Amino acid sequence: MKTLPSWMLCLCLALAVPAQAQRRSPPSGSAGERTISPQGTGATGAGDANAGPRRTPTCEEARRNARYGIYFDKVEIEKLVQTVADATCRTFILPENVRGKISIIGPENGRVEVNADAFYSAFLASLDANGLAVYQYGRFMKIVDKRSAKQNPIPTIVEDGEPYTTNEQMVTKLFRVQNVEVEPLRGVLQQLVSKDGDTIPYPPDTIIINDVGSNIHRLERIIHQLDTRAASDEMRIIQVQYASAQDVANTVQRLFEAKGARPGQPAAAGRNVPPPRRRPRPRPARARKAPPAVR
């Protein structure tokens, strides 16, 4: 039996190792998925031998300068959440009943890269579009059905001027009105909240709104415009010189009632407004006839 020379055997082994590594390399992403990972965070193969071992950057350090291309075409939500967790250094809790596929298509099919914050905002918007919401649960982020989000400990804003999110995260905010009635204003706001948002009146002066942060900012601007005093609501003190103050007040009251009365309805209907007092006019003196002369 012939044996191969030792140098030929070593050559065969050297050629077989790269082929085996190539077979074990992870497959490239499929047509509907794209792997998103921080760029420029791993150690390179070549380096200074005298520099020693390189320190592995923390997740926050890698996230600070990383850029991401966004392209997810009908991917499973578990895969998307895992990618977002790697990019944002957040840990998510995904309940068993949360299933489905989500699509996020970035500019130029993902070739335009964004930072981690923009990536996370796009992720929250995609959850909102699919009827899901996320809220902080201790050190974790929990994904739930949007309709039940208001029954969970979502961020609650109670003070005026307190900052809150501007993205699609669910928020509860209290508004205190000063110049208008609560119920009519709530009726207007209820038509402007998102599909799963709602408004709760708490008389005499509070409205509670559950909605995504981006829409609550819009509702807040509307409330500030509506909850204002009318331009005609102003008080002046006028000194009356030639008439009784009560007479002038009664006359002005009747004028306002006549302006706001319905057609065919008396101006002072239902109110007992005394008529203004009139001063008696002096009667002109009449000339008396002289009595007839007695003859």
Same domain, 159 and 145: no
Same domain, 199 and 143: no
User: Residue 181 sits in a domain of what CATH number?
Assistant: 3.30.1370.120
Residue 168 gets which letter from DSSP? Answer: S
Position 3 confidence tier, pLDDT thresholds 50, 70, 90: low
Same domain, 144 and 219: no
Report pLDDT digits (tens) over 225-261: 999 876 555 667 788 888 888 888 899 888 888 766 5
Q: Model's pTM, two decimal places?
A: 0.58
Mean pLDDT value of segment 208-230: 93
Higher pLDDT, 286 or 56: 56
pLDDT above 70 for 64: yes
Whole-number pLDDT of residue 25: 35
Phi, psi of 201 (to 5 degrees): -80, 145
- Look at residue 203 and tell me if it is in a domain: yes
Q: Which of 164, 176, 170 is nearest to 207 (CA)?
A: 176
- DSSP result, the chain: -----HHHHHHHHHHHHHHHHHHHSPPPP-TT------SS-SPPS---GGG-PPPPPPHHHHHHH--EE-EEEEEEHHHHHHHHHHHHT--EE--TT---EEEEE-GGGGTSEE-HHHHHHHHHHHHHHTTEEEEEETTEEEEEEGGGGGGS---EE-STT-----SS-EEEEEEE-SSS-HHHHHHHHHTTS-TT-EEEEETTTEEEEEEEHHHHHHHHHHHHHHSS--TT--------SSS-HHHHHHHHHHHHHHHHPPTTS-TTTT---PPPP-PPPPPPPPPPPPPPPP-
- Look at residue 282 and tell me if it is in a domain: no
- Look at residue 141 and tell me if it is in a domain: yes
Whole-number pLDDT of residue 239: 83
Higher pLDDT, 113 or 173: 173
- Look at residue 14 and tell me if it is in a domain: no
Contact yes or no for 123/104 (Cβ under 8 A): yes
- Look at residue 235 and tell me if it is in a domain: no
Same domain, 87 and 142: yes
Report pLDDT digits (tens) over 69-88: 889 999 999 999 999 999 99
Final residue of a structural domain among 149, 181, 215: 149
Widest pairwise Cα distance in the chain: 193
Amino acid (one-letter) located at 239: Q
Whole-number pLDDT of residue 266: 56
- Give the least confident one: 7-21, 33-47, 174-188, 271-285: 33-47
Share of the chain above pLDDT 90, in %: 37
Residue 164's alpha-carbon distances to 159, 200, 216, in angstroms, are 11, 19, 10
Share of the chain above pLDDT 70, in %: 66
Position 53 confidence tier, pLDDT thresholds 50, 70, 90: low
Same domain, 175 and 191: yes
Mean pLDDT value of segment 89-96: 89
Whole-number pLDDT of residue 217: 96
Mean pLDDT value of segment 15-32: 38
Same domain, 140 and 66: yes
Give the chain's mean pLDDT: 77
Final residue of a structural domain among 195, 210, 230: 230
Whole-number pLDDT of residue 279: 59
- Look at residue 138 and tell me if it is in a domain: yes
Same domain, 162 and 123: no
**CB atoms near residue 219 (< 10 Å):** 20
Whole-number pLDDT of residue 291: 62
pLDDT above 50 for 28: no
Higher pLDDT, 137 or 182: 182
Same domain, 142 and 79: yes
- Look at residue 97 and tell me if it is in a domain: yes
Range of the domain at 213: 155-230
Final residue of a structural domain among 191, 209, 230: 230
Q: Which of 53, 169, 44 is nearest to 117 (CA)?
A: 169
- Look at residue 12 and tell me if it is in a domain: no
